[in-house]
């Protein structure tokens, strides 16, 4: 039996906890509508019981955007659109898909996709089609917090988006439509399904491709991206960690030094094909720890991802002359010498990268210059190609194939072994997505199912 003083302390703690809970509920109710579409929450998600589920947990649907930028997608975007249709079609065999399309392209996309009863086409304007980065990060609450007049289980985080680097380093000069996508997704959910999906807004610049979680308290990211001065120069590493914990509901952040290697120029001397650089020689190694040369400054979703709690896939190469080798080795070292949020050692599965692959002259010539400040796609540029950049659907794994028979086949076997309860589908022609600067995980965003 408790003594008097201890009992008093217990009652005091209980009253304090209840007061904090009332404060959280009160602030959660202090919301306003954004364009009359979505409910905005002022409290931090973790304090209301929200967390970001692992990607292999059940989904309600998958969100995608439609590619149409002529300066990023070659030949009038037709090859990319064809590949996006393949991706959407395969995902729709496992879960519903919502494809967001501009008014100018709506009928074209509708004609291609409406025959599939599990794909919904909605009108939404974007500057480009990278839904992982411009769409909301969905979080779920398993204990149904009190949010005024409704019980909410799923909400979206609306991060600040600056086009992967802002005015100096971003991929194009105008991203004014992209910054509205996360808000519109919540609004679309309201309009079409007569429900409200609340929105947490955040001032921190962050793209969905820069984080991976295991659903049990662990997040993996890269220093190269989140600590880059073109993202959040006024925030320290510790401050960024705290925000990730408060918004994703995690307790452990694993920082990999860098993401996947990929060039922005032709200094590596590519012949523009899928293999040998000019003169049959390659630079030995990238050297140093400069920022990533891919569009994203080293997004983790092209480098490493969770298979399940305590197990990851890591982009790998055995070629010590490849600049990717140093990056993979240093990531392997970090992962081998840390534990996750549950204090488990991490099992690492190596997933060899293809190629190396390069943009061909024909591919580069198929682009139209629309924005002089947009990142150019030059012949001979090495592509940031990785099999880690896949999407986990309800019972399926949708992964890229690059036309590199040896490594495509090996990737299929590695993924099949890693996901024994999922059907692995390799998307032939995924190179078209890679030419635009990303891959399958980059163009998709899962919305978790309610508990």
Say how far apart CA 350 and CA 354 lie, in whole Å: 13
Query: Looking at residue 21, what is its pLDDT?
Result: 42
pLDDT at 152: 64
Structure tokens at 77: 């975007």
Residue 277's DSSP bridge partners are: 270
Tell me whether residue 111 is exposed, middle or buried, using C-beta atoms within 10 angstroms of its C-beta: 0 to 12, 13 to 18, 19 or more: exposed
Cα–chain center distance at 154: 18
Dist. CA 50–CA 107, nearest whole Å: 38
Q: φ and ψ at 435, to 5 degrees?
A: -60, -30
Which residues of the chain are modeled with pLDDT < 70? 1-41, 144-152, 164-180, 182-197, 263-293, 373
Strand partners, 227: none
Where does 30-448 sit in CATH, by number? 3.75.10.10
Q: How far is CA 116 from the centre of its chain?
A: 25
- What would the two tokens of residue 449 be? 């199912």
Q: Which of 350, 375, 419 is nearest to 54 (CA)?
A: 419
β-bridge partners, 122: 100
Closest to 46 (Cα-Cα) out of 248, 217, 216, 230 = 248
The H or E element that residue 151 is part of is strand 150-151
Coil, strand or helix: which one is 340?
Answer: coil
DSSP letters, 204-263, are: EE--GGG-EE-SSSEEEEEHHHHT-TTT-TTS-HHHHHHHHHHHH--SEEEEES------
Cα angle for residues 68, 71, 74 (degrees, 5° grid) = 70
DSSP string, 259-297: -----SSSTT-B-SSSSPBGGG---S---TTPPPSSTTS
3-class SS at 130? coil
141 is catalytic: no
Q: Which residues contact 288 (CB under 8 A, 6 or more apart)?
A: none
- The string over 237-252, giving b where at least 16 C-beta atoms fall within 10 Å of a residue's C-beta and e elsewhere, is eeebbebbbbbbbbeb
Helix, strand or coil for residue 171? coil
Overall pTM > 0.85 = no
Q: How far apart are CA 48 and CA 67, in angstroms?
A: 36
Distances in Å between the Cα of 13 and the Cα atoms of 8, 9, 43, 46 are 9, 6, 22, 20
| Active-site residue, from 152, 171, 304, 442 | 442
Task: Extract long-range pairs of 418-425: CB within 8 Å, 24+ residues apart.
Answer: 418/307, 418/311, 418/313, 418/349, 419/307, 419/392, 421/395, 422/392, 422/393, 422/395, 422/396, 422/397, 423/94, 423/395, 423/396, 423/397, 424/396, 424/397, 424/399, 425/90, 425/396, 425/397, 425/398, 425/399
Q: What is the pLDDT of residue 180?
A: 65
**What does DSSP say about strands 119-123 and 154-160: parallel, antiparallel, or unpaired?**
unpaired
Residue 139 DSSP SS3: strand
């Amino acid at each position: 039996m408790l003594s008097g003083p201890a009992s008093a302390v217990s009652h005091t703690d209980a009253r304090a906890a209840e007061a904090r809970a009332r404060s959280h509920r009160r602030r959660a109710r202090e919301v306003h509508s954004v364009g009359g579409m979505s409910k905005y929450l002022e409290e931090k998600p973790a304090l209301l019981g929200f967390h970001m589920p692992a990607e292999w947990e059940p989904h309600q649907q998958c969100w995608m955007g439609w590619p149409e930028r002529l300066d990023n997608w070659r030949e009038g975007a037709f090859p990319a659109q064809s590949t996006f249709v393949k991706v959407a079609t395969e995902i729709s065999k496992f879960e519903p898909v919502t494809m967001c399309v501009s008014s100018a392209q709506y009928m074209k996309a509708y004609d291609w996709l409406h025959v599939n009863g599990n794909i919904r086409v909605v009108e939404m304007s974007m500057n480009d089609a990278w839904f992982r980065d411009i769409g909301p990060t969905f979080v779920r609450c398993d204990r149904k917090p009190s949010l005024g007049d409704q019980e909410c289980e799923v909400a979206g985080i609306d991060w600040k988006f600056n086009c992967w680097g802002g005015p100096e380093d971003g991929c194009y000069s105008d991203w004014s439509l992209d910054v509205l996508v996360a808000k519109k997704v919540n609004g679309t959910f309201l309009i079409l399904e007569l429900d409200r999906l609340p929105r947490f807004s955040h001032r921190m610049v962050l793209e969905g491709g820069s984080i991976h979680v295991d659903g049990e308290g662990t997040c993996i990211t890269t220093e190269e991206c989140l600590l880059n001065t073109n993202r959040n120069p006024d925030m320290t590493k510790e401050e960024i960690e705290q925000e990730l914990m408060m918004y994703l509901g995690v307790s452990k952040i694993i920082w990999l030094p860098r993401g996947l290697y990929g060039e922005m120029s032709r200094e590596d001397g590519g012949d523009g094909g899928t293999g040998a650089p000019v003169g049959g020689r390659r630079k030995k190694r990238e050297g140093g720890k400069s920022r990533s040369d891919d569009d994203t400054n080293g997004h983790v979703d092209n480098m490493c991802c969770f298979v399940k709690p305590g197990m990851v896939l890591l982009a790998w190469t055995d070629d010590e002359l490849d600049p990717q080798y140093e990056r993979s080795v240093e990531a392997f070292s970090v992962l081998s010498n840390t534990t996750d949020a549950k204090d488990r050692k991490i099992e690492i599965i190596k997933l060899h990268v293809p190629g190396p692959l390069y943009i061909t002259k024909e591919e580069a010539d198929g682009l139209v210059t629309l924005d002089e400040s947009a990142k150019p796609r030059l012949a001979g540029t090495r592509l940031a190609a990785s099999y880690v950049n896949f999407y986990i659907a309800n019972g399926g794994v949708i992964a890229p194939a690059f036309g590199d028979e040896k490594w495509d086949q090996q990737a299929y076997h590695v993924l099949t072994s890693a996901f024994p309860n999922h059907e692995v589908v390799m998307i032939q022609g995924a190179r078209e997505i890679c030419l635009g600067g990303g891959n399958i995980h980059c163009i998709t965003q899962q919305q978790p199912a309610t508990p």
